[in-house]
Chains A and B, each alone.
Chain A
Amino acid sequence: MSVRCTRATALRVLTQLRRDPRTILLIIGVPCLLEVLLKEIFAGTPALFEHVGAPLLGLFPFISMFVVTSVTMLRERTSGTLERLMSMPAGKLDIVGGYAIAFASVAVVQATVVSILAFGVLDLRVAGPRWGVVLLAVANATLGMALGLFVSAFATTEFQAVEFMPAFVFPQLLLCGLFVARSDMADALPLSYAYDALARDAAGGPYGGRFAGDVAVTVGAIVVALTLGAVTLRRRTR
């Protein structure tokens, strides 16, 4: 892995994003809009807004980063640029690493803006530290990004990449603990851990071994998904 190539790739991806203000607006704006809607629909039951408002600070970015990253990576695969990169002195990890750094920094901005809105304007109250909620929201978004990078390997068109969203994301949403308490379900999917860590921090603990395990599994899943993403980049194709 080379720092020079990874850095160059991250800068290039960020420059491409900058060229597409509408995408930036969607990445940042949609989670904000959803959080506002959430506040409105639970206007009569503030306790419910307290309960789901904080975990959704992570879930909305998780979904949007998944879609944006899988489509962007697929574009690289289908436009011939990946083939050029694979015939150049750029490592697979440099390319995936560059993407990860670029989109993770977008995730930081996204989660921070949504959190400022939720805490500052919508008056969301959490029992744990707010910075912890922001940090875990970034972790959720980064997990979505890493899974999106990996999943793009299984799509051959942008249409398929978008279709993977319900296939990969919805089961995780159903099982993560948002609708039914997680203790009633098997913990098979990575989002369950990312969600649980966030919900636990928002509820003010407890921060025991379970919390540490959640964070460890989340970080581990990000690393594994990125590594698998790098493995799926092929130097030689049929």
Chain B
Amino acid sequence: MEPESAAVIVDRLRVVRGGTTAIDDLSLSVAAGSVTGLLGPSGSGKSTLLRAIVGVQRIEAGTVKVLGAEAGSAILRRRVAYVTQAPSVYMDLSVAENLRYFARLLGVPARRTDQAIEAVALGGFSNRIVGSLSGGERTRVSLASALLGDPELLVLDEPTVGLDPLLRRDLWDLFHSLAAAGVTLFVSSHVMDEADRCDELLLLRDGALLASGSPDELRASTGARSLDDVFLRLIEASA
């Protein structure tokens, strides 16, 4: 992959969390304008990698370049948006109040909040207090907040957990329409049918990259038919 076409370049990254090495000597890149899936069992370092890319994770060694700048630099705070696994929105505010606050911080016009609410199919929920919503609805409020500033890179940590299949399909359609408009999406997941909807996949295990490629490439290289089997074979081969 040409470096110019990469939205994220991670080079020899090492992260230590709580005394143990969460990520060790990891190098990878994420193609610009793609939907790239980050897969791996829980504890494999997915969230830590996403945090390093967003620039909220202290790193031990290596570099993380995002849209040509050092991860976490001030100019990226407008261009990169991040949705954490637990919805990081204010539970005691309404959906609209949450979005209005984030819109003010970003300096985008208030009408953008309605568009973001529509994009995640929360149209009728504007005046509901977030704390009274279901887990999946809260996640979508968090996602809507991330969409507000028209980010160039959208980093999503397990955004579809707890959503019904219909909503999951709608959100993946949204992700692809964003990518078609030039947005880069880096999405962590552990659901294999979602992996099949990604352009590129990165498989992480114990903080190291086990494999990468498109779903079809990975199937061809391992001779497995389902992505589940692909990953089983890769894990067994590495053991």
- Could you tell me which A residues sit within 8 Å of B by CB distance? 4-5, 7-9, 11-12, 15-16, 19-20, 79-81, 83-90, 235-238
Q: Is the CB of B101 within 8 A of A236?
A: no
**B105 interfacial by beta-carbon distance below 8 Å:** yes
**B58 interfacial by beta-carbon distance below 8 Å:** yes
Q: Is the CB of B93 within 8 A of A235?
A: no
**B86 interfacial by beta-carbon distance below 8 Å:** yes
Q: Is the CB of B107 within 8 A of A236?
A: no
Which one of A9, A12, A83 has the greatest number of beta carbons of chain B within 10 Å? A12
B contact residues around A89 at 8 Å (CB):
74, 77-78, 105-107
- Could you tell me which B residues sit within 8 Å of A by CB distance? 16-18, 54-58, 72, 74, 77-78, 80-82, 84, 86-93, 97, 101-102, 104-107, 129, 145, 149
Q: Is the CB of B88 within 8 A of A90?
A: no
Q: Is the CB of A87 within 8 A of B77?
A: yes
Q: Is the CB of A238 within 8 A of B56?
A: no
In angstroms, how far is the closest chain B Cβ from the Cβ of A65? 19
A contact residues around B72 at 8 Å (CB):
87, 235-236
B contact residues around A9 at 8 Å (CB):
101, 105
In the complex, which residue of chain B has the Cβ closest to the Cβ of A86?
Answer: B56
If the complex has contacts A19-B93, A81-B90, are A236 and B58 also in contact, measured as CB distance less than 8 A? yes
The 4 closest A-B pairs by CB, nearest first: A80-B88, A8-B104, A84-B88, A12-B101
In angstroms, how far is the closest chain B Cβ from the Cβ of A35? 30
In angstroms, how far is the closest chain A Cβ from the Cβ of B96? 11
Query: Which of A16, A84, A238 is the one whose CB lies under 8 Å from B92?
Result: A16
A contact residues around B81 at 8 Å (CB):
87
* Additional A-B contacts beyond A12-B97, A84-B89, A87-B82 (19; CB < 8 A): A4-B104, A4-B107, A5-B104, A8-B104, A9-B105, A12-B90, A12-B93, A79-B88, A80-B86, A81-B88, A83-B56, A84-B84, A84-B102, A87-B56, A88-B105, A89-B105, A235-B56, A236-B56, A237-B58
Query: Which of B17, B54, B105, B129 is the one whose CB lies under 8 Å from A90?
Result: B105
A contact residues around B107 at 8 Å (CB):
4, 89
B contact residues around A235 at 8 Å (CB):
55-56, 72
A–B complex contacts, Cβ < 8 Å, 25 sampled: A4-B107, A8-B104, A9-B105, A11-B101, A12-B90, A12-B93, A15-B93, A15-B97, A16-B90, A19-B92, A79-B91, A83-B56, A84-B82, A84-B89, A87-B54, A87-B72, A88-B102, A88-B105, A89-B105, A235-B55, A235-B56, A236-B55, A236-B57, A238-B16, A238-B17
In the complex, which residue of chain A has the Cβ closest to the Cβ of B18?
Answer: A238
If the complex has contacts A8-B101, A238-B17, A238-B58, are A83 and B90 also in contact, measured as CB distance less than 8 A? no
A contact residues around B88 at 8 Å (CB):
79-81, 83-84
Q: Is the CB of A81 within 8 A of B82?
A: no
B contact residues around A86 at 8 Å (CB):
56
In angstroms, how far is the closest chain B Cβ from the Cβ of A8? 4
A contact residues around B92 at 8 Å (CB):
16, 19-20
A contact residues around B129 at 8 Å (CB):
19
In angstroms, how far is the closest chain B Cβ from the Cβ of A153? 16
Query: Which of B18, B80, B84 is the one whose CB lies under 8 Å from A80?
Result: B84
In angstroms, how far is the closest chain B Cβ from the Cβ of A16? 5
